[in-house]
Amino acid sequence: MTEQRNESRRGSTGTRSRGGPRRQYRRRPRLCKFCADKTTHINYKQHELVKRYIKESGKIRSRRETGNCATHQRMVAGAIKRARHMALLPFTVERLR
């Protein structure tokens, strides 16, 4: 009885094609916004710029989400931490009770 079940699973490929040519998807190269502008320094006082890289929960957005290169992501994270320490940005968001 188990053999019949296994055979029925193997035979039911449905509309899937096997061995056919696959489309080649090419990702667009992600460009860091700061590299495109040739920015060498990210200032913690630019709170509007720095706020873009913080989630609603108060966490710093990842490189994947922002599209920054490693160098500029470290600069952004440092600027956010510095702004938090100077009380320009909150560490967490206020939650309604």
Q: What is the pLDDT of residue 20?
A: 73
- Are the beta carbons of 61 and 79 closer than 8 angstroms? no
* Residue 23: Cβ within 10 Å count: 5
Residue 60's DSSP bridge partners are 54
Q: What is the pLDDT of residue 91?
A: 87
For 10, the enclosing helix (H) or strand (E) is: helix 2-11
pTM: 0.66
Environment class of 42 (CB within 10 Å of its CB; exposed 0-12, middle 13-18, buried 19+): buried
Q: What is the pLDDT along the chain (97 residues), one digit of tens a residue?
A: 565 655 555 555 556 667 778 888 777 777 888 999 988 889 999 888 999 999 988 899 999 999 999 999 999 999 999 999 999 988 887 775 4
Domains of the chain: 38-97 (4.10.640.10)
Q: What is the pLDDT of residue 17?
A: 63
SS3 at position 60: strand
- Are the beta carbons of 51 and 45 closer than 8 angstroms? no
- Are the beta carbons of 68 and 31 closer than 8 angstroms? no
Looking at this protein, which amino acid is placed at residue 45? K
